[in-house]
Structure 1
Amino acid sequence: MKTTALLLALVMGGLNCVHADEEPELDGPVFASLIAPDPSDFASTVQLQQRLASGELTSVALVRQLLARIEALNKKGPRLNAVIEVNPDALTIAAHMDKERAEGRDLGPLHGVPVLVKDVFDTADKMQTSAGSLAMVGQPASKDAFVVQRLRASGAIILGKSNLSEWSNFRGRTIPHGWSGRGGQTRNPHNPDATTCGSSSGSAAAVAAGFVPVSVGTETNGSIICPAFRNGVVGIRPTVGLLSRAGVIPISSRQDTPGPMARTVTDAALLLSAMSGTDARDTATYQVPNGPVDYHALLDRDSLRGARLGYPLYGFGGVPMLTDPEFIRVGKILKAAGATLVPVLLANPAEGAFTWPLLQLDFKRELAVYLQTRSGLPVSTLSDIIAFNASNPGEENYGQGNLEQAQQQSFSQTSYFRMTSALKNNNRMAIDNALRNHSLDALLDLSSGVLKSYGARAGYPGITVPSGFDEDGDPTGLYFFGTAWSEASLLSFAYAFEQALKDSSPAQPAPEAAAG
């Protein structure tokens, strides 16, 4: 990515200080005018492991560097507000990881690597788990979320909690993406005036800004894919049930899933494998076929050769995809890598207006169950949260219309079952029928496109991978999606595209030369 190239150029050029009396330029996401770059800032986990294994770097030094970067950029300078809280024990944990490495204990590819998790994951430490809400500030959780347990077992250092759209974008529908009462407004490192999109804004922005190599977000409908795309990083929405939701502040178990964010597909695959596992607290994980998968081992840069990929005939506003300059550009790269692109007209599931009320009811029910697992908070019900917000409106006073509607929401069990079954099955059929009828290996769309909700409502996987930058310098992305449990294939296609994109950079032969 262009940030890595700029970082290396700055380091090679000997930039090692920033003058306090100079007017800072918001030269993100490197922000070299505000903090001296370091080779660790935008390194992948693979690169970091090489340096850690050789002794060139320690986890303590790495954590110190990343904490200094967060200190300089999170609440100062561009005020990215991507991190809602730093783990006060991060350096102690890093020292323990260094000790284990020195003793010959290797916990795997995340050993000693800092990770941020969205502020909806329970962590049994000194940090809050609040969904960005001031109403939830109190006694920390007593038990780690299952995916946090898995991360700790892999040797990852939980560096802190990432900011989010409050209540995972469920406080009110007019509140800006990336804002929470506790964390403020998350800003996009590429362009602080641009949207961060989706509720996992902080998780994506933190990776893009060089705060951590990888992070963990959650998605109900677009909250991993959209912020990852807008912030220029890789984001995976796994099949619902692949990753446990236990110990995660919920919206709807029908659609909720944790997912990785990273700067490379390789890192995203490593993180996905580390977090996977069967969990008695979330019985949906028992549905995962074939047990644990090493997604990294299955990455194949030649996987696009012979692959049949379906794309939508029309994008936003009914504009034909074949006239879209961005799709034309990425299409040439995909074809040069050996893929066949097949136009597809996906059936419209036609859910109507009932999808949001169903999510509101799910939130009302499932939040009540989650709150029973927490003690020492000033609230214990949704009604308490609504009352707290009414008494503490804050300067923004954004309101809480969605919480209030959720509190009043109800359906008969018969209606609820009929509607939720139709919602899931219609979206699944739209995807599965397109794959089957056109003999496709996967579907794709521009990450800015119209199809992200299909997979989210079906509970099916998707991955967005950066594809470059538009004329305004904002990130662009390509979105791969498919049927249940197709993560390995989707990751491999995304990896092959990522590598082909590198090969087609200006320093390489133009992609048109090889396109058919």
Structure 2
Amino acid sequence: MNRRIFLRNSGLASVALSTFSLGACAPETKEKKAGAPDAADNAADSFELQEATINDLQEKMGSGQLTSRGITELYLKRIEAIDRSGPTLRSVLITNPDALKIADQMDQERKNGKVRGPLHGIPVLVKDNINTADQQPTTAGALALAGHKASQDAFIIKKLREAGAVILGKTNLSEWANFRSTRSTSGWSAVGGQTRNPYILDRTPSGSSAGSGAAASANLCAVAIGTETDGSVVSPSSCSGLVGIKPTVGLLSRTGIIPISASQDTAGPMTRTVRDAAILLSALAGPDAADPITQQSAGKLQADYTKFLDANGLKGKRIGVEKSHLTGTNDAVALLKEAVEFLKAQGATVVEVEVQKQTDPLGSAEYDVLLYEFKDGVNKYLATAGAPVKTLADVIAFNKQNKDKSMPFFQQEILEASEKLDGLDSPKYKAALSKSQNGSRKALDSILRDNKLTAIIGITNAPAPCIDLINGDYWPGPGFSGPAAMAGYPHITVPMGHAHGLPVGLSFVAGAYQEPALLTLAYAYEQASKKRVAPEFRKPFVG
């Protein structure tokens, strides 16, 4: 969940601005030049699977150079060396005790002439708010759910297993998907501690899919899965130099995923390339009888999203650019201006549009929607989860009873505010949902239609600020997650460059079920620009 929403709607923005300082970042050590990578981290350059794509891994398995077991072992060793030692990213909560067993099964199938598809034998990390019916707990990072093991796989996990993927482990996240406190710190959970940004270690990885983003970027897995309500896939993807897809709500099932919002939640791929994101999206998408909104994808779902990857896909396209993102002194603005000129050079027409002037005022209504839907969704999840806590009220009570461990840095104002609300039959809820959802859809649909646009672009996020466990998140500069999140429309982010050693993503947004069009644009931009740079786990810069 994007923390900017809460800063804006809780009146804390001015407080955050006044209390934030670079002092929140760790001081540079005397022994090292600012920004230099750890000596121990040079292993990153020689890692056998460094920046390996799904196709690369399939070629290695197909030729016999590597097996799924061998690949899985390499990633497990990498997690031990990079995540739990060395830079100590803390992006992976647990590795799957069954991972090697699954890999062996996939190797045996391959030996017998059966290859299920492009994900056969491929190790995948999964955000820890997604049920896996195995030895791994599903906790949402909360101590109240520590040790809770799901009895059934989430629907998308079933699809992953059917595709032959190896569930490598579960990733850390902003606790309760960053829907606990108005002063929370992205990437921190009571279960997993603080995830670090793999580019500069005292910078935020963003969230709430912090672990999935940091792990995929640091080459701890082939690909990863996150979840988003507003910004939780695209923002950490931007901050970790990844491709992230927030699909149309309803393209992927939410069954078995600890919820925030029935109207905005979705899982999504977090990968190092657009092609890998398209492969993973193809495997995850599909209707689920237990999630009625997925029935709306009938006739719009694509079996293979890779067929829309066209290196010349920008030629002749009309693209809108968010006008407010072209002004200001933030370093990301210069990168966007360069990207606009680059898109034009690739044959696209780019025109200025104003989306956020219409959608930003809807933020208060969106926040009300999430508060109502969170209580309803969490109570329904916990009622059948078999967890020690059965209701949101139980979670709140647990945190109070264990506050030294559960709430050492920030409190649970959002949980408490949600608990006080009525059900989804409340007139206030219905009015807020209509305002935020219909208003954002009207704004995007009209701008896309009136300007004959394939998509609208903007800055996904400004460069990652410092981790600040005292004051909470502070995000200087623009972001573009809100319009598509409120509308339930697709959003893809692709690396568009670096500022002071930190990645910044370029967002592509379009109408419902327009993932094919967005993938075409994103792939063409990626292939021509080549802005992805692997992280080096650098020590902090000093100003």
Settle same-fold status: TM greater than 0.5.
Answer: yes
1:321 Cα offset (Å): 11
Q: Deviations over 1:372-419 (max 9, x none)?
A: 2211x2211111111111121235242212111111123762222122
> What is the Cα-based RMSD across aligned positions, in Å?
2.4
1:175 Cα offset (Å): 1.6
Q: Distance in 2 between matches of 1:27 and 1:45?
A: 30
Match in the other structure for 1:355: 366
Match in the other structure for 1:502: 530
Match in the other structure for 2:501: 473
Q: 1:157 to 1:424 in 2, by over 3 A?
A: same
Residues 496, 531 of structure 2: 8 Å contact kept? no
Residues 235, 261 of structure 1: 8 Å contact kept? yes
Q: Distance in 2 between matches of 1:159 and 1:125?
A: 12
- Which piece of structure 1 moves more, 319-328 or 68-77? 319-328
Residues 117, 161 of structure 1: 8 Å contact kept? yes
Q: Distance in 2 between matches of 1:35 and 1:25?
A: 19
Residues 322, 328 of structure 1: 8 Å contact kept? no
Q: Distance in 2 between matches of 1:148 and 1:65?
A: 23
Match in the other structure for 1:329: 338
Q: Distance in 2 between matches of 1:32 and 1:352?
A: 41
Q: Deviations over 1:125-179 (max 9, x none)?
A: 0000110111102341111000000000000000000110000001212121000
Matched, 1:394 2:423: no
Q: 1:214 to 1:356 in 2, by over 3 A?
A: same
1:345 Cα offset (Å): 2.0
Letter in 1 for 2:96: N
Residues 366, 486 of structure 2: 8 Å contact kept? no
1:27 Cα offset (Å): 6.0
Q: Work out which of the residue numbers 412, 417, 425 in structure 1 matches 2:430.
A: 417
Match in the other structure for 1:444: 457
- Which piece of structure 1 moves more, 267-276 or 391-400? 391-400
Q: Distance in 1 between matches of 2:39 and 2:376?
A: 43
Matched, 1:154 2:183: no
1:251 Cα offset (Å): 0.3
Match in the other structure for 1:267: 276
Q: Distance in 1 between matches of 2:501 and 2:348?
A: 28
Letter in 2 for 1:428: R
1:467 Cα offset (Å): 1.4
Q: Distance in 1 between matches of 2:243 and 2:38?
A: 16
Q: Secondary structure of the equivalent of 1:373?
A: helix
Count of equivalent residues: 481
Q: Deviations over 1:247-266 (max 9, x none)?
A: 00000110000000000000
Residues 372-391 of structure 1: pairs in structure 2 closer than 5 A: 372-375=383-386, 377-391=387-401
Residues 41, 86 of structure 2: 8 Å contact kept? no
Q: Distance in 1 between matches of 2:220 and 2:57?
A: 14
Q: Work out which of the residue numbers 232, 237, 249 in structure 2 matches 1:240.
A: 249
Residues 462, 480 of structure 1: 8 Å contact kept? yes
Letter in 2 for 1:250: P
Match in the other structure for 1:8: none
Which runs of 5 or more residues in structure 1 are unaligned? Answer: 1-21, 506-516
Q: Secondary structure of the equivalent of 2:319?
A: strand
Q: Work out which of the residue numbers 290, 293, 296 in structure 2 matches 1:287.
A: 296
Task: State, as a whole percentage, how many aligned pairs show the same letter.
Answer: 44
Q: Distance in 1 between matches of 2:32 and 2:446?
A: 57
Letter in 2 for 1:165: S
- Which piece of structure 1 moves more, 342-351 or 408-417? 408-417
Residues 30, 209 of structure 1: 8 Å contact kept? no
Q: Distance in 2 between matches of 1:72 and 1:355?
A: 41
- Which piece of structure 1 moves more, 119-128 or 319-328? 319-328
Letter in 1 for 2:439: N
Letter in 1 for 2:451: H
Which runs of 5 or more residues in structure 2 are unaligned? Answer: 1-30, 462-477, 534-543
Matched, 1:296 2:306: yes
Kindly indicate whether structure 1 or structure 2 has the higher relative contact order, using CA contacts under 8 Å at least 6 residues apart. Answer: 2
Letter in 2 for 1:414: P
Q: Distance in 1 between matches of 2:45 and 2:442?
A: 52
Match in the other structure for 2:19: none
Match in the other structure for 1:512: none
Q: 1:473 to 1:64 in 2, by over 3 A?
A: same
Q: Deviations over 1:66-87 (max 9, x none)?
A: 1111111212222201101110
Q: Secondary structure of the equivalent of 1:131?
A: coil
Q: Distance in 1 between matches of 2:262 and 2:479?
A: 23
Residues 41, 212 of structure 1: 8 Å contact kept? no
